[in-house]
Amino acid sequence: MMLRRLLLIVSLGLLSAFAGCTYSTDFIVVNASEKPLLVTYTIRPTGIDPLVATGVRTPAELPIAELRGREWRPLASNEYSFEPSSRTVTFSLQPNHGLLINRAGEWRSNSEMPSGFIIEKIKLVGINGETVVEGENVYKSFALVAKPFYRFGPPTQFTLTYE
């Protein structure tokens, strides 16, 4: 009886600890085409450094097969361009790679968008033409990547895929 009560207390404590956790949401541009993709995105005006405001600080990439992790490779300053006056980042994304452009607040299915999503425009230019999304359509153009039922916690991912 005492062991059962102790097990119940420990279980409730662990559940409470996990219930209070918050996680971030990753927004990723994915190049599923066979050629490099020119990615240009503009960050909304903020009172701080725009790259810091994205929650990423530096754009980062990973092969598509590794997107479920958090081991992003931050880009070196010579691998992308950033124009501070227009708050615009440009990068050439290789085939079968993803580019982390924004890490926002926790996403909940009953909210419009996570706090901290600050990308106002994305332009993708690749072998299959050009795609431009602006304003509220930027967030809406990303698709939620479902987690397997056995995965808990971070990251929640949204992807914008160019094929």
pLDDT of residue 67: 86
- Whole-model pTM: value is 0.81
Per-residue pLDDT tens over the stretch 125-146: 999 999 999 998 999 999 988 7
Per-residue pLDDT tens over the stretch 76-122: 999 999 999 999 999 999 999 999 999 987 766 656 667 789 999 99
Report the DSSP pairing between strands 25-31 and 156-162: parallel
Q: Is residue 112 part of a domain?
A: yes
Q: Is residue 18 part of a domain?
A: no
Are 51 and 58 in contact by the 8 Å Cβ rule? The answer is: yes
pLDDT of residue 15: 39
Are 46 and 118 in contact by the 8 Å Cβ rule? The answer is: yes
Q: Is residue 62 part of a domain?
A: yes
Can you tell me which residue has the tokens 């992003």? 72
Q: Is residue 37 part of a domain?
A: yes
- Domain enclosing residue 69, as ranges: 23-162
Q: Is residue 96 part of a domain?
A: yes
pLDDT of residue 4: 58
Tell me, what amino acid is at 116? Answer: G
Torsion angle of C-alpha atoms 59, 64, 69, 70, degrees rounded to 10: -10
Domain count, the chain: 1
Q: Is residue 17 part of a domain?
A: no
Distance of CA 127 to the CA centre of its chain: 24
Residue 8: pLDDT above 60? no
Residue 66: pLDDT above 60? yes
pLDDT of residue 11: 44
- In which band, very low, low, confident or very high, does the pLDDT at 41 lie, cut at 50, 70 and 90? very high
Q: Is residue 105 part of a domain?
A: yes
Q: Is residue 8 part of a domain?
A: no
Strand segments (E) across the chain:
25-31, 37-43, 60-63, 73-74, 80-83, 88-93, 97-104, 119-126, 129-134, 143-145, 156-162
Q: Select the more confidently predicted residue: 99 or 20.
A: 99
